[in-house]
A and B are shown apart, each in its own frame.
Chain A
């Protein structure tokens, strides 16, 4: 079985500052993908960033970057220059063969003006 754990139920950050969301996981798979999804109040799941486990280089998408520590099974998300529109639930997810996603419990992020 695979598990994904997000230890921060809620976080807040001032607009324009940087925040890091934590995620740890456990899997016996050797090849897998890790994702961060954003779920705004509309409830639509939006892909923020992905990381292939076989790649050592940390993924970056504009203001979003990850710190992928494979040996430690850690996959944190850093949001730089936080914007009000970043306010949402953030889910860390692990994809194994068969395309099934296992989600963490989520972190509610509030960006304050």
Chain B
């Protein structure tokens, strides 16, 4: 099956610094990728929809200037947490539907997630 990777798998950064998380589709092209945030023992909350070649669409309440999303190619989307603070510590997960012919319309592949800890 299709694979989505994330890098890094975990990161610790100091408050006030920025950190970039990469999401890659390894064997398919993803015109759309989704970014989710998951706090401990909670569900996944959609943060934004990343669209290749255009601006991301953010969910209500998500700060666009704080969570910068870039989807510059059909296989890579990045999420940059700018000026990170301890409250940004969370588990970030990306996902992508294959979106190409021959794939099932309902399919969506999840990355393994990135654990961010801001000290």
In the assembled complex, the CB of B64 is this many whole angstroms from the nearest CB of chain A, namely 18
In the assembled complex, the CB of B22 is this many whole angstroms from the nearest CB of chain A, namely 17
- The residue that B91 contacts in the complex, of A43, A98, A99, A108, with Cβ under 8 A, is A43
Contact, CB under 8 Å: A95 / B108: yes
Hey, which chain A residues are within 8 Å of B77, CB to CB?
Answer: none
User: Does any Cβ of A come within 8 Å of B46's Cβ?
Assistant: yes
Contact, CB under 8 Å: B106 / A91: no
- The residue that A106 contacts in the complex, of B43, B106, B112, with Cβ under 8 A, is B43
A-B CB contacts (within 8 Å), total count: 46
Contact, CB under 8 Å: B106 / A44: no
User: Does any Cβ of B come within 8 Å of A100's Cβ?
Assistant: yes
Q: Mark interface residues in B25-60 (1 if CB within 8 Å of A CB, else 0).
A: 000000010100010011111100100000000000
User: Does any Cβ of A come within 8 Å of B110's Cβ?
Assistant: yes
Hey, which chain B residues are within 8 Å of A106, CB to CB?
Answer: 42-43
- Contacts known (A43-B91, A52-B106, A91-B43); A99 close to B32, Cβ less than 8 A: yes
- The residue that A99 contacts in the complex, of B41, B108, B112, with Cβ under 8 A, is B108
Contact, CB under 8 Å: A45 / B43: no
Contact, CB under 8 Å: B93 / A45: yes
- The residue that B110 contacts in the complex, of A33, A45, A102, A105, with Cβ under 8 A, is A45
- The residue that A105 contacts in the complex, of B43, B91, B93, B95, with Cβ under 8 A, is B43
Hey, which chain B residues are within 8 Å of A104, CB to CB?
Answer: 43
Bound CA span A108–B42, Å = 10
Please give the residue numbers on chain B whose beta carbons come within 8 Å of chain A beta carbons, in ascending order: 32, 34, 38, 41-46, 49, 91, 93, 95, 97, 99, 106, 108, 110, 112-113, 115
